[in-house]
Amino acid sequence: MKLILKIVLFFLFSITFNISKADNLTESLKAAYLNNHKLNAERANVRAVNQRKKEALSEFMPSVTISGYVSEQDNTKGTESNFEPSEQSLLIEQKIFQGLGGVANYKKQKMEYSLAEFKLKKIEQEILLSAVEAHLDFLLSKKKLNINMANIDLLDRQVETDKNRLEKGEISLADLAQSEASLAGARAKLITAQNDLVTSKVNFEKIVGQKPRENIYDNKLNIIWLPRSLSEAYKISKGENPDLQIASLEFEKSKQDVLIAGSDFAPTATLSYKLAEQDDMSSTITERTQQTLKATATWPLFSGGSNYFSLREAQENRNNKELLLKDSQKLVETEVAKAWSNYQSSKSVLNSIRAQVEAAEIANEGITLEYESGGNKRTTLDVIQSSAMLLESKINLAESEKNFLISQFNVLSGIGRLTAKQLKLIH
């Protein structure tokens, strides 16, 4: 039986999946951080937004234009008298007043860059949390498979013991049937566990970006720091939670949009200097240099009402963003409280289940020894029930260990510190 199980497992691992580099939780998180396509796309977006920020700054810089022309003209008939007028010019323009629209636009682009960074942080937290869950789900699947295999070994021995006792007349045929039925049920659970392992592997590769090793181990990533209380978690989240920062920046950006829309009502002023050199070769070579210094002011008085409606739209959008900010503040506070509560409760549950497993192991060992020693103290049903209770408690323990660890990462995510830098995945 053991040989068959080993062959099945080898087939599942070797045929479906190849060897990879993910050994432990730390390596899985590093791989997800570096390889995830969604995360890399967001990094590219940050770089693009940074260029737009620099572009907005160019509005305050002077523009310099060099131009010129040369042409050929013939003003005679029947002669070869031609001349080639030409001009070369240098034009320098500087905007000296833009109705505060230029300043507002530059501030907006700086906010856009900050927004892109916080959106990147949000995606980073989501990917790392998904990688944690994928890694721990895979490990849990392996644990469940091993637990079920160990349970089959126990039930195999139980069936053999019952066969011997049946021959001695110590138990009935019904007792043996109970053992065999329990073994059959355990084998069905094993198939389910094998399928769960395959599914968790597929999900692991999807999230992490590479396949797990066969000898992947259950290291507990050292979480650098967790808040000491819920109030401390609240305080940190107000300054570092990416969702809250995004909502706040969206509101501030909408204020700049109002200023930009309002600048359409304001005058603009431009100062320009032009240096032009002209050559006129119509009869004699003539050169002329001209310098022009010009100040231009414009003031839009009426544009069909479009600027007014644009301003009203910007104002309403600002009101919308303010309400969304308030909603985000409440939502983040709720999520942090939920994460903290789950963290505390999962810790208590884990301690309880550990005690339950210890008690179940002692009980199962005692009941099994009493049954195998003969007599009428214990029945086949007692052994089966005890084994089932032990199996369930071990699986519950594995799930509780996973939930406790995930709850810690959820707290980090809620306060905004589930990052590669915070986890020291990068230096």
* Each residue's pLDDT tens digit, 91-120: 888 777 776 777 888 888 899 999 999 999
79-88, 243-252, 261-270, 285-294: least confident range = 79-88
The CATH number linked to 155 is 1.20.1600.10
State the DSSP H helix or E strand holding residue 284, giving kind and residue range, or none if neither. none
Q: In this predicted model, which residue has the larger pLDDT, 308 or 216?
A: 308
Identify whether 210 is part of a domain: yes
| Per-residue model confidence (pLDDT) at position 305 | 75
| Per-residue model confidence (pLDDT) at position 4 | 40
Look at the chain and report how many structural domains it folds into.
1
Identify whether 252 is part of a domain: yes
| Per-residue model confidence (pLDDT) at position 282 | 54
Share of the chain above pLDDT 90, in %: 50
Is pLDDT of 2 > 60?
Answer: no
Residue appearing with tokens 């949009």: 257
| Residue 79, number of CB atoms within 10 A of its CB | 8
Is pLDDT of 43 > 60?
Answer: yes
Identify whether 352 is part of a domain: yes
Identify whether 75 is part of a domain: no
- Band of pLDDT at residue 299, cut at 50, 70 and 90: confident
The identity of residue 324, as a single letter, is L
| Residue burial 180-219, b: 16+ Cβ < 10 Å; e: rest | eebbeebeebbeebbebbeebbebbbebbbbbbeeebebe
Average pLDDT, the chain: 84
Identify whether 76 is part of a domain: no
Identify whether 298 is part of a domain: no
Domain containing residue 237: 2-61+101-265+313-415
Identify whether 131 is part of a domain: yes
Measured between alpha carbons, how far is 200 from 188 in angstroms, rounded to an integer?
19
Is pLDDT of 139 > 50?
Answer: yes
| Residue 89, number of CB atoms within 10 A of its CB | 16
Q: Which of 142, 140, 182 is nearest to 159 (CA)?
A: 182
pTM: 0.78
Measured between alpha carbons, how far is 132 from 400 in angstroms, rounded to an integer?
15
155-164, 259-268, 339-348: least confident range = 259-268
| Per-residue model confidence (pLDDT) at position 1 | 43
Identify whether 326 is part of a domain: yes
| Per-residue model confidence (pLDDT) at position 277 | 81
- Band of pLDDT at residue 227, cut at 50, 70 and 90: very high
Is pLDDT of 345 > 80?
Answer: yes
Q: In this predicted model, which residue has the larger pLDDT, 153 or 213?
A: 153
- What letter would DSSP give residue 212? B
Chain-centroid distance of CA 286 in Å reads 70
Helix (H, G, I), strand (E, B) or coil at 87: strand
Is pLDDT of 63 > 90?
Answer: no
Token pair listed for 172: 């009935």
Looking at residues 394-414, what average pLDDT do you find?
A: 94
